[in-house]
Amino acid sequence: MRTKQYDKALKEVRRLCLRLPEACEVEAWGHPTFRAGKKMFAAFGEEDGRLSLGMKVGFDRQDKLLNDRRFFPTPYAARQGWVSLTINNSTDWTEVEGLLREAYRQVALKRMLQALDAQE
């Protein structure tokens, strides 16, 4: 059962992800996932009442982020450079926007990156 907090957080994640060039939402494994073309860069979910946002950040960035208690290894994907951020009432959505852009840059095609750079 989805909660108001889930719906509110997903709405914000969608807003941030879908403004990126050629980004789309695809449901996979029962969760909303966000892709640049065919490659996934973010996934939103809930497990045991905890909301989280998984993002592909690469191994160097992954090591740094995992030193922050808000982040944890993304189940099944950590070995591919993913981390998850716990989403709650104190989530800094400006920070999330920056992280999502980083994740998008990990998988986006050259033309998508050029379009992103033109936006900034």
pTM: 0.93
CATH code for position 36? 3.90.1150.30
pLDDT value, residue 111: 96
The share of the chain scoring above pLDDT 90, in percent, equals: 87
Domain residues for 91? 4-119
> Is the pLDDT confidence value at 21 over 70?
yes
Identify which of 108, 8, 87 has the alpha carbon closest to the alpha carbon of residue 43: 87
> Is the pLDDT confidence value at 1 over 70?
no
pLDDT value, residue 92: 97
Binned at pLDDT 50, 70 and 90, residue 6 comes out as: very high
Rounded to a whole number, what is the distance in angstroms from the first to the last CA of the chain? 38
Give the count of domains, the chain. Answer: 1
Residue 96's H or E segment, with its range, is: helix 93-107
- How large is the average pLDDT for residues 101-109? 96
